[in-house]
Amino acid sequence: MGDYPPLLARPFEAGVAGWAVVFGVGIVELIAGTVTNQMPMSVAAPALIAPVVIAAGFALVQWQQVRSSGAEPANWWHLVGIAGALFTWLVVPTNPGILAPAGSSRTACEIVFGQPTAECLARATRAMDYHNLVWWLTGALVLGAALLARRSRIAAWAAIPAAFAGCLLAAHFLELFILHYRPGG
């Protein structure tokens, strides 16, 4: 029994755990994205980030267990999960429909409120900066998962719901700008 590899290094058990984690996180992200759509960032961010952190924890544990036990690495075809995550990251819209053509905070203020006041520009700039930061950090997270994918199947496949969560969170900054900014208020 001493030669038996750890749980997440065994092919069948790791597969079952991986599917449970990835599908669980995916379902939670869909629900959290829907429920927190118009909620404050203090509610939306933890609801969208927590499942990704849990999946990342499982991925790191699997990576460590596979590495330390000398178990066979994952097949290269698991990188399809990373490709799916990159596709998700690039395709899921992060600009709400009304702000889709807005490339700057000035344009966003003109689209939403008619004229760019100093307060509107400040809020729009902040929202767009946070949006861009989260979007790029999500891309970095997907690339980080790619580095773990050879020894962690969970990392490869959990990158898809993580990319989706990052896109939802990035969009949330701009949605809150549209919903809660009132000129002069």
**48-104: per-residue pLDDT in tens?**
999 999 999 999 999 999 999 989 888 899 999 999 999 999 999 998 888 877 788
Domain count, the chain: 1
**Residue 103 burial (CB count, 10 A):** 11
- The helix (H) or strand (E) run that includes residue 154 is helix 153-180
Give the structural domain span for 145.
7-180
* Residue 62: burial class (beta carbons within 10 Å; 0-12, 13-18, 19+): buried
Whether 1 maps to a domain, the answer reads no
Whether 161 maps to a domain, the answer reads yes
DSSP label at residue 5: P
**Arithmetic mean of pLDDT over the chain:** 92
Whether 96 maps to a domain, the answer reads yes
| This prediction's pTM | 0.91
> Tokens representing 181?
């900014």
Whether 2 maps to a domain, the answer reads no
